Chains A and B, each alone.
Chain A
Amino acid sequence: MSVSTAMVSERATASVATSQSQRGSVSVNSLTKMFGPVKAVDDVSLSIEPGEFVALLGPSGSGKSTLLMMIAGFEVSSSGDIMLDGVRINDVPSYRRGFGMVFQSYALFPHMTIAENIAYPLRRRGLSGGDVEREVTKALKLVALDGYGTRLPSQLSGGQQQRVALARALVFRPPLLLMDEPLGALDRKLRQQLQMEIKLIHKEVGSTIIFVTHDQEEALSMADRVAVLERGRLQQCGTPRELYEQPATAFVADFIGEMNFLPVELRQAGGEICARSADLSLEVVQEASQVLTSGDRGLLAVRPEYIGLTPDERATATVLESAYTGTNQSVLVQVGCIRLTARTSVSPGRPLFQSGQRVRIEIDAAHTRVFPAAR
């Protein structure tokens, strides 16, 4: 056991020195972390290709940081494997893993200048003199802070400090860059600017990136793939489009974008499941998955843009409230005891919906998904 561990760490360290290409494939298998009785991370499996940008998304307390910390080597997993390029690294100490890390609080060393901060990982790798100076200059240029090397961290703004943290984490060309809510402390405008910069830098350096955030917009706009966590469990990992169009669970459906949930009754018919809503006199037929069985109560998920409204004095649905947003109008509709939000595009000349107006509801069955209700 100890022999193989030693070999593994040797290879893991050696890999830091080898060339960048095709390194940085990360996979975690059945990874679990217990804090006493609390399962902070619960049987998570995930595999990430070299050079991929993956966001870990989830509400507060869902285990994103814990998962990241285990990959970084700052938390010891309770069970499961963490693999880098096919090698198990659970027992490699964090400082030998060679991953870059960017913290929400920047974590710049306050007693060192910006240049010293960026030189720090290079010195730990035995570089000195002109080599260090060259790399530091390059890294500062990468984050558009050339000329700031002689300042102290306290003399920079929050956004600048975060860029220094990024430069410091990238200067030694890590195969994998980990970021824990790196933009959490910045204001909206700066966030958006840095989001773009990080994407550009990712293109330029090609490291694999795992990026923790609880902001779904940030995750969807930046990442190649998004892994959604809830209460320690991986709900789904897919491209932003997959998450939006084919959410695997009701949680993902609710968490990503806007979603209406209608209570439905489920009936099994051969290989198909039929969901019926009495209030809407609506029936949707979908392929049955193993989780759904007849007689269950279910939830029909439909996004606001797939709900059509037509003014109709004889209809049972009533407009409660509406909000005009330029190209769209969001309309809250009451039908029976259900409330739905619809989004209709505004075309010139067509009147807007008014509160109290009666409307007919049409739901595009092709864009609905059925989930079991017991969630």
Chain B
Amino acid sequence: MPHRRDTSGWVRLVPVLLLLPVVILFSVGYVVPLAQLVLKSLRHDGAWSLNSYIEIANSPAFLWIVLRTIALAATVTIVCLLIAYPLAYAISKCPPRPAAFLLVIVTLPYLTSVLIRTYAWIVLLSPNGPINQLLLHLGLISEPLQMVFNSIGVYIGMVQIQLPLMVFPLYAVLARVNPSLAKAAQSLGSPPTDAFLRVTLPASMPGVISGCTLVFLSSLGFYITPELLGGPDSYLIAQGISLRVLILGNFDEAAAQSSILMLTVIAVFLVFRQRIAEELDDRPHNNIPLAGKSTSGLSARWPILERLTAVLHGPSMRLHEALTVVGRPALYVSAGLTLLLLVLPFVVVIPLAFSDAPYLTFPPPGYSLRWFSSLLKNTQWLDALSFSLRWAGLSALLSVAIGVPAAFALVRYRFSARVPVYLLLISPLIVPHVVIAVSLFFALAGSSLIGNPLAFALSYTIIGAPYTVVVMIAGLKRFNRTLELAAASLGSSPLVTLRTVTLPLLLPTLASAALFAFIVGFDDVVFGLFLSGPTATPLPMRMWDNIRLEISPQIAVIAVLFLIVLALLMLLRLFVSAVVQSRRPQESLHH
């Protein structure tokens, strides 16, 4: 008689129970509205029809918008790759402490609201802004360049905003590439640059692919930066959609355009699902595909190519040696410039907050706290701030509450729907927020939920939970499960082990997860555009209106406050992990 634990039926139910809350919420607040959106696009005057799509296809304006969007996304992706790679490479070569510091410099802009960074770029690029002033001063130009409210501004702003998204995956892979690989290649006769090309670069391809996918997909649906930095002649697809919903009331076409955008993004996402799902497990990332292996085990190459490389061997080695000499300084200069680009917005925003001018001008003629006190006197801003704090905070808690059990289920259990559920839970990271917001707008239209804080809680949770899931999965994968076995062998039931060992050790991870989820909601503009009402106006909506209508140093004050809070939270997180790592010895025996 085969002995199985007679709890096995229950064991199989555990992941289901863990996933139930998040799956229910995602079904109701995300999958169903998106499905309704697609259905809506297929109906016209109460009947099934492809009318909206035909209309779109016949509109040259829309085709231009699509082309412009793709061109922008592709260009931004390539530029990001070219300037992020040297930086990521340089960081991966740094000793741990400087590397951690540099990563904070990359993370800081990533955590700072897109709205604030876009605002900074308006200031930086404006005709009398610091960049034009510098160029004029250097005599490089005779009159100010028009760099804002046209596509130049959009390109510059987008590159800076998307950069961290490229640096992270590149760094993750480069840091993992075994440094002794390149050293081994050098010892076998490759000059450093050649070793880089043959060993490091191929090994970092997974990071290049992840980074490019992330940047390209999120650029396709970008709204805030193009809307604020671009001109009326450089519309992109997300702007087209919101224009149709908010101004023109052309819902059918908006639904059709949203469906096209979403399905394109999902298609690309699914093409790369293998690589994305790998994040779930610990398969090695840096396996170089061995293409075209011949029977000898040497890679097969055309004979002519073989002969050519033999002839060019001498000169190419000398070229590599020359490159090795200039390579290092070039690497550091390029990495330094990229870092400068990342921090540039803060360089203008921080002094601007202390401006004493009644309007926006840079550099400020003098310094005062007038904009701080004006913020404190303005109840509209304060109400918006408290609204955002409250509902983004609540959503962060909710995201943690549903995302953490889900991460446990995905990491700790094996079940057939595991990969699909994972892809579903992280998909809000790449489905454009405009599309999700439009779908919620349609789903909630007519109900009292538009303009209701609950709609914000729902949407903030849907865009925040993917971050908690991703952060927790990474934390759980790092977690040493032998500790749980040890606890069990010492007499802890699973729940007691969770309380006394697992959760205390995961506390820093939980804090990060909550912080990410909070910031995602706190920074949101897009949902605000569609779901705001007179009693429900989040802070970013106030900032949005300010930037569009009057553009004052008020935003800079918010940015500075935000940075202070962010710094405090980061310190708190460091403190939490420090406490976890080293509790004071004196309390050894007394709880």
Seen from chain A, the residues whose Cβ lies within 8 Å of a Cβ on chain B are: 1-2, 5, 72-74, 76-81, 90-91, 93-96, 98-101, 103, 105, 107-116, 119-121, 124-125, 132-133, 136, 149-152, 154, 168-169, 172, 178
Q: How far is the CA of A359 from the CA of B504 in the complex (A)?
A: 71
B491 touches which one: A1, A91, A95 (CB < 8 A)? A95
Q: How far is the CA of A78 from the CA of B5 in the complex (A)?
A: 10
Known: A124-B492, A133-B589. A107 touches B583 (CB 8 A): no
For residue A100, which residues in chain B have a CB less than 8 angstroms away from its CB?
489-490
Q: Is B588 positioned at the interface, with any CB of A under 8 Å from its CB?
A: yes
Seen from chain B, the residues whose Cβ lies within 8 Å of a Cβ on chain A are: 1-6, 480, 482-483, 485-494, 496-497, 500-501, 504-505, 580-583, 585-586, 588-589
- CB pair A151 B585 closer than 8 Å: yes
Known: A110-B505, A111-B504. A79 touches B491 (CB 8 A): no
- CB pair B589 A120 closer than 8 Å: no
| Nearest opposing residue in chain B for A72, CB measure | B489
For residue A79, which residues in chain B have a CB less than 8 angstroms away from its CB?
1-3
A95 touches which one: B2, B6, B482, B489 (CB < 8 A)? B489
For residue B490, which residues in chain A have a CB less than 8 angstroms away from its CB?
95, 100, 120-121, 124, 168-169, 172
Known: A101-B485, A115-B588, A124-B496. A76 touches B5 (CB 8 A): yes
- CB pair A105 B480 closer than 8 Å: yes
| Nearest opposing residue in chain A for B579, CB measure | A111
Q: How far is the CA of A209 from the CA of B494 in the complex (A)?
A: 25
Q: How far is the CA of A232 from the CA of B505 in the complex (A)?
A: 36
- CB pair B589 A5 closer than 8 Å: no
Known: A91-B3, A120-B490. A150 touches B482 (CB 8 A): no
For residue A120, which residues in chain B have a CB less than 8 angstroms away from its CB?
487, 490, 492, 500
Sample of 13 further A-B pairs with CB below 8 A, known A101-B486, A169-B490: A74-B485, A74-B488, A80-B3, A90-B3, A91-B6, A101-B485, A103-B486, A105-B480, A107-B483, A112-B583, A116-B589, A120-B490, A124-B496
A113 touches which one: B5, B492, B505, B583 (CB < 8 A)? B583
Q: How far is the CA of A239 from the CA of B493 in the complex (A)?
A: 37
- CB pair A103 B589 closer than 8 Å: no
- CB pair A121 B482 closer than 8 Å: no
- CB pair A113 B480 closer than 8 Å: no
Q: How far is the CA of A149 from the CA of B494 in the complex (A)?
A: 26
Known: A113-B588, A149-B588, A150-B588. A76 touches B4 (CB 8 A): yes
- CB pair A172 B491 closer than 8 Å: yes
For residue B4, which residues in chain A have a CB less than 8 angstroms away from its CB?
76
| Nearest opposing residue in chain B for A82, CB measure | B3
Most chain-A CB neighbours within 10 Å: which of B6, B485, B489, B504? B489
Known: A77-B3, A78-B2, A111-B583. A95 touches B493 (CB 8 A): yes
Could you tell me the distance in whole angstroms from the C-beta of B107 to the nearest C-beta in chain A?
Answer: 25
Could you tell me the distance in whole angstroms from the C-beta of A279 to the nearest C-beta in chain B?
Answer: 41
- CB pair A103 B582 closer than 8 Å: no
- CB pair B487 A101 closer than 8 Å: no
- CB pair A136 B589 closer than 8 Å: yes
| Nearest opposing residue in chain A for B490, CB measure | A121
Most chain-A CB neighbours within 10 Å: which of B490, B504, B583? B490
Known: A90-B3, A124-B492, A124-B496. A109 touches B501 (CB 8 A): yes
| Nearest opposing residue in chain A for B486, CB measure | A107
- CB pair A150 B585 closer than 8 Å: yes
Q: How far is the CA of A107 from the CA of B481 in the complex (A)?
A: 9
For residue A103, which residues in chain B have a CB less than 8 angstroms away from its CB?
482, 485-486
For residue B492, which residues in chain A have a CB less than 8 angstroms away from its CB?
95, 120, 124
| Nearest opposing residue in chain A for B493, CB measure | A95
Q: How far is the CA of A94 from the CA of B482 in the complex (A)?
A: 13
For residue A99, which residues in chain B have a CB less than 8 angstroms away from its CB?
489
For residue A119, which residues in chain B have a CB less than 8 angstroms away from its CB?
589
For residue B496, which residues in chain A have a CB less than 8 angstroms away from its CB?
124
Known: A77-B3, A152-B585. A111 touches B580 (CB 8 A): yes
Could you tell me the distance in whole angstroms from the C-beta of A102 to the nearest C-beta in chain B?
Answer: 9
| Nearest opposing residue in chain B for A91, CB measure | B5
Q: How far is the CA of A103 from the CA of B488 in the complex (A)?
A: 13
Q: How far is the CA of A5 from the CA of B1 in the complex (A)?
A: 15
Q: How far is the CA of A119 from the CA of B493 in the complex (A)?
A: 16
Q: How far is the CA of A109 from the CA of B479 in the complex (A)?
A: 12
